[in-house]
Chains A and B, each alone.
Chain A
Amino acid sequence: MRTQKPHWMGTLSALVLLGGLTACSPRQEGSSGAAAADQAARVFTVGMSQCNLGEPWRVQMNADLKAAADKHPNLKLVFKDAQNDTLKQRAHVEEFISAKVDLIIISPKEAAPLTEPVARAVEAGIPVIVLDRALLGDKFTCFIGADNVKIGRAAGQWIKQQLGGQGKVVELKGLMTSIPGQDRHNGFREGIAGSQIEVIFEADMKWLEPEARKEMESALARFDRIDLVYAHNDPGAHGAYLAAKAAGREKQIKFVGIDALPHEGVAYVKQGILDATFLYPTGGAEAIETALKILRGESVPKKIVLGSRVFDKTNVNSGGKDLP
C-alpha cells in the first residue's frame, strides 16, 4: 500500500507462515439430495495473498482477517506473503488456482501485472476479493478499499477548523512517487483550499519515523513559528513530535497523522502525543464478511469503499468518530 522500499529480503516470519501451507481443501462431493446440508457443514478454504508483511498496517490487515475468520469455524484461511515481489504474488494466485481453493483474497502490490492472473482465477470459477489496491478492468469479484484523497481532504478540513482557517503548517509527505502519498497530499491541499493556511515546509519522509524526525528538525531550525504538522502517516507525525519535544516546542505545535493503527496512531492520541489521526481501514473484517456472502451464493457489490474515522482527544476513548 504505502512504502515502496525494495523488500527483496526474505523474512523469517513469512517463512514460518508459509511453512507447510500447501492449500488443499478437502472438497466433499456431496450427493445432490444432501447438497443443502452439505453446504452448511462444508469447510471453505480461502487463500490470502498479502503483498508484504513489512508494514505494520499490513500485519494488522492479516490480523483483522484472521480475527474475523476465527469467528467462523467453516472458514480456513491460508496466508501467503509476497515480500513485495509482484512475481511471487502472481505465483500465489496460480498456486491457489491449482490447489482449487474456494475463494481468493488478494491485496496486490501493483495493478497491471496481477490483473491477468486474477482474471484466470475468476475464469477457473474461483471468486476473488481485491483488497486495498485496485486492479485494472473488471475481472474480479469485488474490490474493497479506502479512499486516500477523501481521508486527506478530511484531515485538511479538520486542520482548517482546528486552526481557525489560518496558520503555518509543515507537511511531511510519505513518498510522492507513491499513489497513497500523492492522494494524501492532494486531498489535504483540497481540504485546506480557500483558507489562510500556509504550508511553509514540505519534505518526503519516506513513511519512516527517523526520516520524519530529521526533516522536522530542519523545519524547526528554519521557522520560529510552526502551528501544526500534517504527516502522511502516524510514525511520521510521531517522529515530528519527538523532534519538536527535543527542541522544547512540542506544546506550541499540533500533530496530525493518518492510519490510526490501534497500537500506533490511536495509542499516540491517547497518550496526548498526536492531536488527531485518521483511520485508513484495513478492510479485513469486511473482506471476510463479503467472502462469506459470496460463498453462500449471495450477490455482492463490485466495489466497496470503506469509511474512515477520526480519533482526537475528545473521542479517542469512545472509539473515534465516523467521517461523513
Chain B
Amino acid sequence: MRRFLATPAGRALLALMLVLIVGVVFNADGAFFKVGTHRDALRQASVYGILACGLTLVVIAGGIDLAVGSVLALVAVCGAKMAIHWGWPGPAVVAACLLIGGLCGGVCGGLAARLRVQPFIATLAMMVFARGLAKYVSGGMKVSTAVQNADGTYRYVDVPGLFRFIDTRILGDNVSMVSVIFALCMAVAWLALAQHRWGRYLYAIGGNEEAARLSGVPVIAAQACAYVASGLFAAVAGLCQAAQEQQGDPETGMGYELIGIAMVVIGGTSLIGGRGGMGLTLLGVLTIGYLEKILSINAVPEAGRLMLTGAIIIAAVLTQRRKGT
C-alpha cells in the first residue's frame, strides 16, 4: 500500500479520492449520490479531458500547447457553419473539422519542431491567431440555428443530426455520448503513447532531446506529430463543445488550455517532459472535473471556487513532488 502511494499513479489516485470524500461529506442534500450528478460531472469534464489527451502527448515530448482553447473555438465555429448553415452531412463536417484542427496543429508543430520557435511562443501565436480567425469566420457573432437571410430577417433551422448525436445519452440515459468520445480519445492516445513506437520517441525526446536525436529518433517528425495530434483532439473537443451549445461561439473555450494543462499536471505528468502517461491524465481529469461539480452542486460562490481550485491544484502538485519521484 505504502509503496503504491509512492508512485505517481498512487498519488494522483489519492488526490481524486480526497476530492470524492469532500463530495461525500458536502453532498448537497444527497445530490452527490444521484447517478445523474456523476453522469453530468463526467460530461462536463469530457471536453477538457479530450484537450488533455493531446496536451499529454505534447507535454511528454517536452513541449506545451496553448492554442487548444482557440482551436476548439475555431472548429466550433466552422463546424457550426458547416453543419447548421450549410447543411453538410455529419461525416463531411467531422472530416473537415479534423482537417482544420490538424492544420492548426501542423503549423504549431512546424514552427516548434522544424523552425525551433519556442513551443510557448509558437502556440501562443496560434492561440491568438486561431481566436481571431474564429471571430473573422463568424463575423463576431455566434453561429446558431437562427440563420440570417439576405434581407436581415431570421429563419430557424433544426439542430443538425450530428450535433444531436454528440449531445445524446446512451445505456439507459446513464452515459453521455461526449463522455464516450472522451473515452475513445483516451484509448487512442493511450495506444499511441504506450503501445506504439511513436510514444516511446516522445518519452525519449522529452527526457533528453539531444540523446534521442543521437540514438536515431526522428525528433522533428515525432515532435511535430504531437502538435498535430493535439490539434486533432482540439478539433474533436470543438465539435463536442458546439454540439452541446447547439451553436458555434467564437468566444468559447477561453482559458480551456489552462484547465487542460492543470489536469495533465495534477495527474503527475511532468511539464519538463519525459515522464507521465494517459492513465495519470485520466485521474487528473476526474479530479478537477469532480472538484468543479462538487463546488457547483453546493453553490459555492465564485470567489471561493477560484481560491479553492487554486489551492487544490497546488496541494496536488506538491504531493506529486514529495519524496523524489
Contact = CB atoms under 8 A, between A and B. Distances in A.
B302 interface: yes
Interface of B: 28-29, 31, 34, 36-37, 40, 44, 127-129, 131-133, 135-136, 139-142, 144-146, 148, 154, 156, 167, 169, 241, 244-247, 249, 251-252, 254, 292-293, 296-297, 299, 301-302
B241 A210 contact: yes
A9 interface: yes
Given A5-B254, A263-B146, 10 more contacts: A15-B132, A56-B142, A218-B28, A218-B297, A221-B37, A239-B245, A262-B154, A263-B144, A267-B145, A271-B156
Contacts of B251: 54-55
Nearest to A267: B146
A13 B252 contact: no
A204 B301 contact: yes
A210 B302 contact: no
Nearest to B251: A54
Given A9-B128, A11-B131, A12-B129, A218 B31 contact: yes
Contacts of A209: 245, 247, 249
Interface of A: 5, 9-16, 53-56, 59, 175-177, 201-204, 206, 208-210, 213-215, 217-218, 220-222, 235, 239, 242, 246-247, 262-264, 267, 270-271
B249 to A, nearest CB: 7
A53 B136 CA distance: 11
Nearest to A170: B299
Nearest to A15: B132
B246 A242 contact: yes
A7 B44 CA distance: 24
A213 B146 contact: no
Nearest to A53: B140
12 contacts: A11-B135, A15-B132, A213-B244, A218-B297, A222-B28, A222-B29, A246-B167, A247-B36, A263-B142, A264-B144, A271-B146, A271-B156
A55 B254 CA distance: 13
Contacts of B144: 263-264, 267
A14 B148 CA distance: 22
Contacts of A53: 135, 140
Which among A201, A263, A264 has the highest number of chain B CB atoms within 10 Å?
A263
A218 B295 CA distance: 9
Which among A215, A220, A239 has the highest number of chain B CB atoms within 10 Å?
A220
Contacts of A214: 40, 44, 292-293, 296
Contacts of A15: 132
Contact of A13 (B136, B296, B302): B136
Contacts of A5: 254
Contacts of B139: 13, 59
Contacts of B252: 208, 210
Contacts of A202: 299
A105 B156 CA distance: 34
Given A242-B244, A263-B148, A267-B144, A218 B154 contact: no
Nearest to B298: A218
A262 B153 CA distance: 9
Nearest to B140: A59
B307 to A, nearest CB: 14
Contacts of B36: 217, 220-221, 247
A10 to B, nearest CB: 6
A201 B264 CA distance: 32
A102 B44 CA distance: 51
Nearest to B127: A9
Contacts of B301: 176, 204
A271 B157 CA distance: 10
Given A12-B136, A15-B132, A202-B299, A267 B40 contact: no
Contacts of A213: 244-245
A239 to B, nearest CB: 8
